[in-house]
Amino acid sequence: MIAYLSGLFVVTFLPRLSLVWLFVLLLPLSWYHRLRRLILYFFAGVLVASIYGAWQLQHRLPAALDRTDSVFTGIVADLPENNEQRTRFILSVEAGESVDPALQRLRRIRVNQYHLQDEQAKPIAAGDKLTLLLKLHTPHFMQNPDAFDLELHFLRSGWDASATLLEVIEHQPGHNKFQSVREHFRTYLKREFAASDAHWLLPAILLGDRSAMTDEHWLILQRTGTAHLLVVSGLHIAVMTGVGLLSGRVFTSLMLLAGIRHSYLRTLPLLLALIMATGYAALAGFNLPVQRAWLMVCVFLAGEWRLLQFSGWMRWRIALIAIVTLQPLAVIQPGAWMSFAAVALLLFLSDCHRSRHKEWLGQLFRAQWFIFIGMLPVMAVVFQQLGLAAPVINIFTVPIFSLFIMLLPAFLLGVFLEWTWVIEVLVLFIDGFWLLLQHLSQIPGGYHALVKPSVVVVLLLVPLLISLLAPLPWRWKWTALLLFIPLIWPPSDKPSTGDFRAIVFDAGQGLAVLIETQEHLLMYDTGPGYYGGGSAWSYAVEPWFKARNIDYLDHLVVSHNDLDHAGGLSALKTRLEIRRLESGSPIQQQNFLSCHQHQSWEYDGVSFRYLTDMPPVTTNENDHSCVLEVRNADCALFLPGDIRVTTEYDLIRSKRLEPVTWLVAAHHGSSSSSSIAFIDSLLPKAVIYAAGFNNRYNHPVAEVTERFRRRGIEAYNTAEMGAITLDAKAGQCRESVQRQQKRRYWTSG
């Protein structure tokens, strides 16, 4: 099994699937009898993962067809996500008008409908059949340090493109009856429980619809370690399976008491368990985590069905192999390993304590202890937290919530029959349960935020976990606790005195640059905001701060008040404490000071200075931009904001410009900036364009890129390369790009 999993695993780290052929070099090892089986299993894993990856990529919309307009007919395959600005849904394609083979291969498209003009349009619901005019986009998304890999998410979800809805040509409501039932069920729940927390909680645990859950909800669930309760997961499927088994055994007992005997009675509980698990999984949308839980249940039930003499561990291994074969990318999904690790820990607990401590309360405490300890690495990597209170909280909440799930069908029957007392009991339980979690999330010391651990730190935790879970004397366990130190107090990777590191984030058509010295953080611009609401900050920049458990900024510079530079300001101020604020635009109402005063200062041996004079009030907003230079003994970074040619010439005449190492091109590479004289005054070794992929302005424009190319200046573009990291160390100035550092076979571009 390990050899097979290794074959699946190594393919996920290939930068290109064509490199799979290199593994042929291992074939001669199969001549050795002892290695033959391992090599064959390894190649089986490589083959399965490669076929899966090639099949998925074959359907992906090519970059050459990005921003293509085309008409498609299909079914809304899941519950749409709705907010005031946008409706997002998955269109399962049935037909397309284009004869282009690449467009005909599209299977599922994630569509965004923006509510800007047509307020009279009929709402789009799950199960509707639609004929739409779409502007297609290839799955090429922002790539930043520690950020969510949306390109991977599209690949494993089978979404071949994203799109903007331009026109609804035909709309047939309720074409897919099952999906329509789910949509009506959600609408009913939200209407019936509008005044209670049940309006978002019931759709989450019944339908897998988390669109109404806010950041505050997720924060409470993470701090209490109870996210698995309110998101459809293995626990819910397992409880429903248990309900089916219990119901079947009760019914079988009644049949036997009535004198009815048949060989098929033995399979009735298993059949009811499968029906309950399948029905609940289908109602919850059968997404990837639910599919994994359902497959695991099927494997465990199959052993009972055929009276196979399989141990719990054997069934666990079969379920694991089945799932990673059908979903090869599950080998790198934390959710999959969390599910299997939890089951494995419970099996291990059963083996270690089979003949003693049979009291149920002791087993319950021990189970929570095993899961808490065993899940430490996963929780540290995925959530960057150590929930000290989570085991105690789960001891009480898991049984209570499991009982609630078991009784939920009866509750819902009472709701549909409009029994007032049932609705009141349901509301009382849900509101009380959520209020309890809110209070538990505020327990002093119950939650400890962590820096995202490195692979080395996670590997160091393995001996700790073994010693804490194994039946060893406590003196050995206390010694192993020393391995906690790198997790709680990780080694620092901050620049040395006199050095700095800058990250030009891939924020789309906007700018966000973070400059880090040994003890200070300066942010230059906040990334773009969107006219429909929201910004790129939360998914482009914020993950960097979260992974390092940083909640402050020493210095924020908003170059000017345009949406593509200041759009993330509101989200940033919600997340971070800011100690010094400056801007080139008059936004004094937010306590910003002006940067047009030739200030210069030093952070940890690194020099910073502004270069512009106060512009006239009537000046174009772009020319209000703060122009910032960052310099140490060997390297220099120049940030001009969106200044135009007139301001460039003012800077040249002021004789304040000096040669630099890196220049972030003004105005994303627009023709209104980056004049020849300006380039020749700075003489950069590299230019960085902060632009959006296939943006409508065609930034950077050809004439600007040509100016830099003729001078032999190396060019970097966030749209093509992802975030650009600049390391200014003693004696060396180095650049690295995100799409090359973290390149995988599914990475676009």
The CATH code of the domain that includes 644 is 3.60.15.10
In terms of domains, do 43 and 69 share one? no
In a domain, 137, yes or no: yes
pLDDT of residue 540: 95
Contact 76, 126 (CB under 8 A): yes
In a domain, 749, yes or no: no
In a domain, 190, yes or no: no
Average pLDDT of adjacent 10-residue blocks, the chain of 749 residues:
90 92 81 81 93 95 94 94 87 92 95 72 89 95 94 94 94 89 90 88 89 86 83 81 88 81 78 90 85 85 71 82 91 81 76 57 67 75 78 83 87 86 91 91 82 80 74 71 76 89 96 96 95 86 93 95 92 93 80 87 96 80 93 95 94 93 96 94 96 92 95 95 94 93 88
In terms of domains, do 707 and 579 share one? yes
In a domain, 398, yes or no: yes
In terms of domains, do 98 and 26 share one? no
What is the rounded distance in angstroms from the CA atom of residue 381 to the CA atom of residue 493?
17
What is the rounded distance in angstroms from the CA atom of residue 343 to the CA atom of residue 364?
14
Q: What is the domain count for the chain?
A: 5
In terms of domains, do 17 and 115 share one? no
Determine how many CB atoms are found less than 10 A away from the CB of residue 493.
10
For 188-197, b/e burial (b = at least 16 CB within 10 A) is ebbebbeebb
Residues spanned by the domain of 33: 2-59
pLDDT of residue 634: 92
What is the rounded distance in angstroms from the CA atom of residue 593 to the CA atom of residue 604?
22
The CATH code of the domain that includes 115 is 2.40.50
In terms of domains, do 553 and 597 share one? yes
In terms of domains, do 507 and 464 share one? no
In terms of domains, do 471 and 566 share one? no
In terms of domains, do 425 and 309 share one? yes
Structure tokens at 32: 């050795």
In a domain, 421, yes or no: yes
In a domain, 140, yes or no: yes
In a domain, 99, yes or no: yes
In a domain, 730, yes or no: yes
pLDDT digits (tens, 9 = 90+) for 90-127: 999 999 999 899 999 999 999 999 875 555 668 899 99
Helices and strands: H and E segment counts in the chain:
29, 25
In terms of domains, do 368 and 248 share one? yes
In terms of domains, do 121 and 46 share one? no
In terms of domains, do 593 and 635 share one? yes
pLDDT of residue 357: 47
In terms of domains, do 14 and 119 share one? no
